[in-house]
Structure formats: structure tokens, C-alpha cells
Structure 1
Amino acid sequence: MDIPHDFLHRRGSLPKRDKVTVTDDKFSKPTEIPEIVVYVDQFGNPFRTATETVVVIPASPPPIPPPSAPPVVAPAPPAPKPPSPQPPAPAPPPAPQPTVSSPVAPPPKSSSSAAPSTNQDGTRHGITYSPYKGAGGCKSATEVDADFALFAKDHGVIRLYGVDCDQVASCYAAAKKYGNKLMLGIFDINSIPQAVSTMAAGVQNDWSIVDTVSVGNELVNNGGAQVGQMLGAIEQTRSALRAKGYNGPVVTVDTFVAVLAHPELCDASDYCAVNVHPFFDPNTPSANAGSFITSTVGQIRGKLSDPNKRIVVTETGWPWKGTANGAAVPGMDTQSTAIASIKSSFTSNPADCILFTAFNDMWKKPDAGTFFAEQFWGMSARYSPAD
């Protein structure tokens, strides 16, 4: 999902949250219950009483159990993921390809001359993270550290999308503390030299913590750039980073629809980085989220000039709130089922899957094109303490 670098200027006013979230270890999973809530001022004096829907979330949620094995079905031709904030006319869906038995082959030897991924922890899935407060503004380094304390131990690579909000420096410090790698991102392809300089300063030229650098996110899919522009941006970014001492992978990220239509985006990248969201296919229920990714990755591999190239799903997940998209239904239970299904598809290579996302993104604007779910993709319905 695209995260605009200038979101503070373009984001619409967000509606008041209609649910109260609390944590309680007496509950084993997120639960919604009606409660009478008494609102008090800063001095403890009651000023309003109302019946609210309270979302009770365990302080330490248990691991998601694997779902019952779904019947093996051939998923329908993939549908494109509507981008945010303005859905463009999607590219026509590609012709279906044969389903393969595993989502991604074990990381093969790449034909690229770039150094391999610096990630030495291949046992944990990655996760995306954004340093923005729900009410607007940037999170402080202290707030970023508090966020990492809640999710970092469960994940390997932490994917960022830009360099604003001093996020590179804040996340570098947190990643060093909690033992993560970073996938850094350049959102604006017109500011590549400045972004690379910000990255180098943010990591204090310690590139050992950087797994990958991406340039652009879904720009071809949403009409923000032409394929030729992105190929040039990859080369410009790689050259600028090499000059700063970074020798790891450089990629561009786009939707699977864009990549199937333009596999040269992957051919020019040091590995194939693609966003795959089963929720946006109306024929895919949550239990089949993993098989949808398996089929999609198999189709992508058949399009690459090097079929042994590593493919990393850089965004995938399931919302816990929103409106239904055919068989794809948001919910706490369906999110748990979908995430378990997705993880089961990456049993042999969990590092090739980056889940979306660490926390609910309350700074985003609800939109019918994304089924009013844009704010509610946080793992286990989790809100950031800064919200």
C-alpha cells in the first residue's frame, strides 16, 4: 500500500475512532464487547457516560495457530490491488499460469552482481512499519523505540517506505537494540540523491544493518511513473548507494499485476520485490490467502528472464475491519486465519515474506476503493502506543 511522503499535507480529516481499545491478559484473543464507558477529565471528574464497543486485546497475544488445511483449489485469476489514495485504472489481469507447489524456491543464486541480502536471520518473517501518529505528525525516537519493543522480537526485516520524520535514524537505533535488519525505502524518485544521503547519515554509514534499499512503491501500478523511469531510478539509486559504501540489494517494489505486465522491473532489480494482497481478490477467502500467493509467485517466476531469481513478497496481510470484498471478509478471526495461511506458504523461506503491517494506520483516510479497511491492517488489531 502506498505511503505518501507528504501525507501530512494530503491526508484528509480522519473520523473519530468508533471503538475503544484496551489490553487484558484475561482474554486469549482480540474480542469485541459492548461496555458502558465513563469519560473523565484530567482531574478524574466524570463528564460523559456512553455505551461503546470495546476491543479487548491480550497484552501478550499468543502465536497464531495454523488453520485447518483448506481444500486444494485452483485460485481464480488474480485481481489487482487498488492503491491508495486514488485507485487508477488497473492493468488487465494476466492469463492464468499453472499453480506451483511452493510459493518461492529457496533463495537461489542471483545473476545480479550485487552482494546478497545482509539478512542473516532467515527464520522470521519481516513486517512493514510507518513512523506516523494516528492524529498526525511524526513519532519521536522514543515512540519508535516503544513500538519496536512490541513487535520487533517476532520479525526479522523491518520495511520502511521513506526517509521523512527522521525515521532512518530512529529505526536504525531501534533495530540495533532489538536485533533487526532494515529494508530502507525511497518514496520520491525525484529526490534520490538527497534520500541516499539521508540514509547514509541515518545509519551512520553502518550499512551492515541494511538488508535492502527499495526505490518507489507501486508507482507503475498507480500511474505515478513509467516503466522506463523506474528502470532509470533503480540504476541511479544503485550508483548513489555504491558511492556511499552500500553494496547490498537495490530493488523497486510494485504490485504483482504490474510485475506480471512488466517483468523487466524485476529483471533490473537485485531480487524481485512484489506486493501481493489476497484480500483484494474477491474470490479468495482468508483460508486460501497462502495458496493465492503461491499461485501468484509461480506466475511471476514464469515471466522472469532468470527463473531462479529470488522473489520476496514485500507486502501481504489481511485487514481486521472494513467492508467485505466478495469472499474476502475482514475480521479478527479471518485475519488470524489469513496470516496463518500465508505463513504456512513460507515455511521453508519465511524471510521472503514481509507482513503488512505492524500497527493500524490511523493517519490514513478511509476509502471505498480499499473497502474502508486502509486503517485496519495492524497485526492482531494492534494500535501503536503513540496513537
Structure 2
Amino acid sequence: MKLGSALALSGLLVIGTVAHPLNVKRAVTTEVVFVTETVAEAVVYVDENGAPYLTSTVERVPSVPSTSVEPTSVASSAVVPTSAPAESPQPVPAPPPSPSSSDVPSSFVVANVEPTSSAVLPPPAPKPTFVAPEPTSAAPAPAPTSEAQVPAPEPSVQAQEAPASQPSTSSSDSFPLGITYDPYKGTTNNVDCKTTDEIAADFDTMKDYGIVRIYGNDCGQIPVAVRAAKKNGQKLMGGIYAPLQDVDSVVSALSDAVKQQNGGSWDIISLVSVENERVNAKAMTASDAQSTIDQARSALRNAGFNGPVGAVETVPAVIDNPGVCSTSDLVLVNIHAWFDPNTKAADAGKFVKGEVARVQKACGNKRVVVTESGWPHQGDSHDQAVASPDAQKAALASIRAEFNSDLFLFSSFDSLWKSDDPSTFNAEKYWGIL
């Protein structure tokens, strides 16, 4: 786009007459004073013995005085004044023609006799910032007086422009695409904990995700998760499942795991949540959530963790309780397009994107991290929301198309231990994607 005008104008620089000025301002002009002087150039043709057989003269055209000279291009050094003179000057002449093969035998030599005086020639033009088209044969540019006066061509502006930067999957201001994890197994009536080896094996299955979200310290999962994440080069989103889990006890477990499994460095923990949809479920008030955030942040800071702390809620709970997002260091929200009957699986990503925009508006444009988003592969379809393996694949592709960071896919594995009710459309067990 930047070169459009310049290249269009460059097409006008075909050498015609100096009576048509180029009304374009240039960054560099050269002050020149011309001396008007008419001289003749004599051309003597001699035969192979040096005997002259023809003499002709070509009269040079007087130079045109001008207060400024604009360069045209590397290929053309003809003078184009910035303003038209009072009287129309003579056109720039073509160089005298050389005799053709029909006029002069091939063995003849053409000798040019230099005149005793010549007109003052302008200095070489400044280097242009673009390459103009070659002049037409109707008005060829005069040959330069010497090679030293020919400015070296420079790359065009287009060639100097840097290529567009490519988007990255994460940066210091965002978390890589993540996945959620819980350490339970069994059925609704027989819930059990996975073993240490099973948890470690699950982390190996999730190793393609840069960050894993855990919800608390059930089944003693924190030290196992820290060790497995370190092995796989992953980060963790820690969790305190308040009010069912004690804040100080979970902070202590996190601190111990960091010391024992990661050399005391908290860099393996990217952020910590203090509850999960408890305000939405009316199990906590917004004030309770804010107090829990403050308590956890203080305990974590004392333990050496300086990352973000916040409460995880649904979109309605965040919008209705702006104090929760203002107290949180980041706005943490679960968004599931599945529960909107008007959204197809293939449109899940756009739905989540729209909900993020609503939350940002309600929270003063604070950064939003989607802590759960997915689609079930089994359950009761409702209106446009269809539960099937194909629908899950379409939904995940749609979400990935809209997000490559600051989002956790839900969930790593099916949760057969969960229970269902009409609000979950019998799909609560079947959100696993691995």
C-alpha cells in the first residue's frame, strides 16, 4: 500500500519534454545555476587509411535555467524542473545517430572530435528510493559523463520491509494452551484415587499441553503433579478447592512440593485458583470469594509465590459480582458453549470468544483466562447442541481456531465417578478428550 502512489508516479517519468514538470515534492533537491551557451559538436568520418570523407556538425540545445533539479531514476538522468519556465524550452534531443551499416563500410572507424568548450552539466542525481521504469526509445536519456557519476542502485522500499511477524503460541503475557486434570477413578458410587504411577502416566499422556490445571490436593496429587510436570517441561495451574479445602494446608503442600521436586523454585506454578464455581452454585458469597483470594494471596506470597491468584467462576457469576474479578489478579472463568442450545459444535470457539469479550467489558478490560472449555462426546443433545464424538472434534477444532493461549481444554479424561442431573444433560461424565 505504501508503494502504490510512488510506483504510479514513477510510470510518469518517461522522458518527454521539460515543459511538463513533475509536481511531486522530493526530500533532496540540488541547487544548480546553468550557463547558457551554444556550441557545436563536430563529427568527422574517416576511411581505413585515415582520410576524411565526411564532416557533420550537430548543434547542442541551450540548457534551461532552473532553481532546482529533481532526479528521476537510476536509468534516467534528464533534468525535470519543479516549475515550468516562462517560455517553453526546446525538447531534450536524442544523441546524434551513428551511421548505419548501409552508410559506412564495416572497416571504417568513426572518430568524434570533442568541442573546445561545453555546457555546464548538472551534478549526478541523488540516489532514488525507488526504481523508475526504463525510458522509452522516443526520448532516451543522455549518457552519463563518467562512470563515477552513476549512482549505485539501492533496494526498493518494498524489498526493505520486514516480513510480518508470526503469531506465537504463548508469551510472557499469556499461558500456553492447557488442559484440566483430576486424579479420580471409579464410578459414581465407588470413587477412588489414582495411584502415583497412574497420575504420572496420565501426565505423560498430557505432555503435549504446556500447562495442566489441577483443582486441589486430593489424592496427594500436588507433589506427583509437580514432579511429572517438571519431567515433561510443563507448568501447573494450582488449585485450592475452598471452602472444602483449607487454604493454609494447600499452600503448605504446594510449598513443600516446590522445595522437594523443583529445587525450591516456584516457576513451575504459573497461577493459583482458590475456588471453582462456588459463587455460581451459591455455596459461597462473592464477599467470601474475595476474602479467600486475599487470604490465599497473602499465604502464597509468604511462601515465595508471586504469581497471579484468583477465583474461578462462570460468566454470569463474574458479571453479576464484579468485585470477584477486581479482587482477582486475573479474571478466571469457565465457559462451555455446550450449555447454550443455540450454538452448534462447529461454532463453539466463536461462542467462547464472545463470552470472553463480555467478561472483559464487565471487568474493566482485565486479562481473562478461560479455565475450562470443551464439549462432551456423549449425552442428551438439546436443540443445536449435539453430543457425539464427531461433534466434540468439531467443537475442539473451533476452540483451537480461536485460542492458542490463555485457555484450558476440559477435560483430559472422562470422569465416570461424577453424577448427572437435568442441568448437565447426562453429559457430565463424558468430556474427556484423550
TM-score, L = length of structure 1: 0.64
8 Å Cα contact 2:176-2:406 kept in structure 1? no
Q: 1:121 to 1:229 in 2, by over 3 A?
A: closer
3-state SS, counterpart of residue 203 of structure 1: helix
CA contact (8 A) 1:121 1:351 kept: no
User: Matched residue of 1:366: which SS?
Assistant: coil
- For the pair shown, the structure with the greater C-alpha radius of gyration is 2
Three-state SS of the structure 2 residue aligned to 1:322 is coil
Which of these residues, 124, 141, 157, is aligned with residue 211 of structure 2? 157
In 2: Cα distance, 1:168 partner to 1:324 partner: 36
Separation in structure 1 between the aligned mates of residue 175 and residue 277 of structure 2, nearest angstrom: 27
Aligned to 2:272: 213
Partner residue, 1:230: 289
CA drift of 1:119 comes to 7.7
Q: Deviations over 1:207-245 (max 9, x none)?
A: 110010100000110001000111110000000001111
**Deviation (angstroms), 1:310:** 1.2
Of 181, 194, 197, the residue aligned with 2:249 is 194
Q: State how far apart, in whole Å, the 1-side matches of 2:173 and 2:377 are.
A: 28
Kindly indicate whether residue 316 of structure 2 is the aligned counterpart of residue 257 of structure 1.
yes
Change (3 A) 1:216 1:192: same
Change (3 A) 1:298 1:331: same
User: What is the root-mean-square deviation in Å for CA atoms of aligned residues?
Assistant: 2.0
Per the TM alignment, residue 133 of structure 1 is displaced from its structure 2 partner at its CA by 1.4
Matches of 1:171 and 1:194 in 2, distance apart?
Answer: 17
For 1:196 and 1:301, locate their aligned partners in 2 and report how far apart those are by CA, in whole Å. Answer: 29
CA distance in 1, matches of 2:301, 2:342: 44
The 5 Å alignment of 1:98-137 reads 124-135=176-187, 136-137=191-192
SS in 1 for 2:219: helix
In the alignment, which of 225, 228, 247 is matched to residue 174 of structure 1? 228
The answer (yes or no) to whether the contact 1:279–1:325 under 8 Å persists in 2 is no
Amino acid across the alignment from 1:167: Q
Aligned with 2:184: secondary structure?
A: coil
Q: Does the 8 A contact of 1:181 with 1:209 survive in 2?
A: yes
SS at match of 2:186: coil
8 A Cα contact 1:122 1:156, kept in partner: no
In the aligned structure 1, how far is the partner of 2:288 from the partner of 2:339? 27
Question: Which whole-Å CA distance do the structure 1 matches of 2:252 and 2:272 have between them?
Answer: 13
Residue in structure 1 matched with residue 396 of structure 2 by the alignment:
339
How far did 1:369 drift? 2.0
C-alpha distance in structure 2 between counterparts of 1:197 and 1:123, whole Å = 24
| Cα distance in 2 between the residues matched to 1:150 and 1:302 | 37
**Where does residue 279 of structure 1 map in the other structure?**
338
SS at match of 1:152: coil
Contact 1:156–1:351 (CA<8 Å) still a contact in 2?
no
Equivalent residue letter for 1:330 = A
Q: How far has the Cα of 1:124 moved from its partner? A: 4.0
Does 2:203 align with 1:148?
A: yes
> CA–CA distance in 2 between the matches of 1:270 and 1:123?
14
- The aligned amino acid for 1:242 is R
Q: CA distance change for structure 1 residues 259 and 324 in 2, over 3 Å: closer, same or farther?
A: same
Is it true that 1:362 corresponds to 2:362 in the alignment?
no
Partner of 2:357: 298
Q: How does 1:21-40 map to 2 (within 5 A)?
A: none
Aligned partners of 2:392, 2:290: CA distance in 1, in Å?
Answer: 35
Q: Which amino acid in the other structure matches residue 193 of structure 2?
A: C
Q: Would you say the 8 A contact 1:360–1:377 is kept in 2?
A: yes
Residue identity opposite 2:185 in structure 1: K
Aligned-partner SS, 2:313: strand
Which amino acid in the other structure matches residue 246 of structure 1?
F
Match of residue 352 from structure 1: 406
Aligned to 1:183: 237
Task: Give how far 1:121 is off.
Answer: 10
Residues 121/242 of structure 1: CA separation in 2 closer, same or farther (3 Å cut): closer
Show the counterpart of 1:30.
none
Contact 2:360-2:367 within 8 A present in 1 as well: no
CA displacement at 1:156 relative to structure 2 = 1.2
What is the CA deviation profile of residues 85-118 of structure 1, one whole-angstrom value per residue up to 9, with x for unaligned ones?
A: xxxxxxxxxxxxxxxxxxxxx99xxxxxxxxxx9
Letter aligned with residue 218 of structure 1: E
Specify the SS of the correspondent of 1:134: strand
Q: 1:200·1:244 contact (CA, 8 Å) conserved in 2?
A: yes
Deviation per CA, 1:119-167, whole angstroms, max 9, x where unpaired?
A: 86968410000011134221122111111111222x1110011112111
Kept after mapping to 2: 8 A contact 1:157/1:351 = no
TM-score of the aligned structures, taking structure 2 as reference length = 0.57
SS at match of 2:192: coil
Q: Aligned partners of 1:123 and 1:223: how far apart in 2? A: 30
- Runs of 4+ in structure 1 deviating by more than 3 angstroms, as ranges, are 118-124
Alpha-carbon distance change, 123 to 214 in structure 1, aligned in 2, over 3 angstroms: closer
AA aligned opposite 2:215: Y
1:290, 1:338 within 8 Å by CA — same for their partners in 2?
yes
Q: Aligned partners of 1:250 and 1:121: how far apart in 2?
A: 15
Aligned partner of 1:212: which letter? L
Deviations 1:258-286 (A, max 9, x none): 01111221111111110000000111110
Contact 2:371/2:408 (8 A) holds in 1 = yes
